[in-house]
Amino acid sequence: MNPKKQQRIDKAAYDAELKLHRAINDLRGAFLRAYSFRLIFEDERAALVEERAAGVKSVTIPIDRFEPTRATRTSAVLVHYYASLYVVVEGWRDFEKLPLRITDERIEKVLASRPEFIKLLRNFRHSVFHPSKVLDKRLLAFHKAQPELSTWARDLSEAFRQFFRDWRVVVGFPKDASA
């Protein structure tokens, strides 16, 4: 084979691998943010339950005072978790556009198990991050799918966590094609 042609082939392979590594690292960061929201929510929820059991009056404050409470903070973190999880799903699907395809059986199995939940997550994300009515039909549909959606989201998060934990990427970039 012509050495120049081989060099172009090697460069194309290198570029494709580099693009994949960058996409995985970007998605890893998005997932880490979403998963962190989930962990913060679990801590806040546990503290909220303890405060309610102890009879703490500041758990809920009249709306006219317009002050965040543990309950509103807990809710806000959960909302961001679900919205961020959809961003991760969207990023995962973007892998299909890359020259090198990435798949994970655990993730694909959870996604395929309840495709309607993906749509609910997408609509929920749009409703949360764009001004909408308090009783937006997208929010109502999302809440109507509970607790099954919550379990599914936890399973999906665990599948992504395992994928990123097990993904053995050499730190840095793929081997330089010109070497």
pLDDT at 173: 44
CB distance 24 to 169 below 8 Å: yes
What does the pLDDT look like over 143-154, one tens digit per residue? Answer: 899 999 999 999
The residue with tokens 């309950």 is: 71
User: Is residue 95 pLDDT above 60, yes or no?
Assistant: yes
CA distances from 155 to 31, 52, 76, 110 (A): 14, 28, 21, 7
What does the pLDDT look like over 83-93, one tens digit per residue? Answer: 999 999 999 99
CB atoms within 10 A of CB 168: 5
Mean per-residue pLDDT over the chain, rounded: 85
Residue 120: band (very low, low, confident or very high) from pLDDT cuts 50, 70, 90: very high
Nearest Cα residue to 77 out of 107, 18, 33, 140: 33
What does the pLDDT look like over 16-53, one tens digit per residue? Answer: 888 888 888 899 999 999 999 999 999 999 998 898 88
pTM for the model stands at 0.81
| Domain chopping of the chain, boundaries | 3-37+81-166
pLDDT at 48: 87
CB distance 95 to 101 below 8 Å: yes
pLDDT at 152: 98
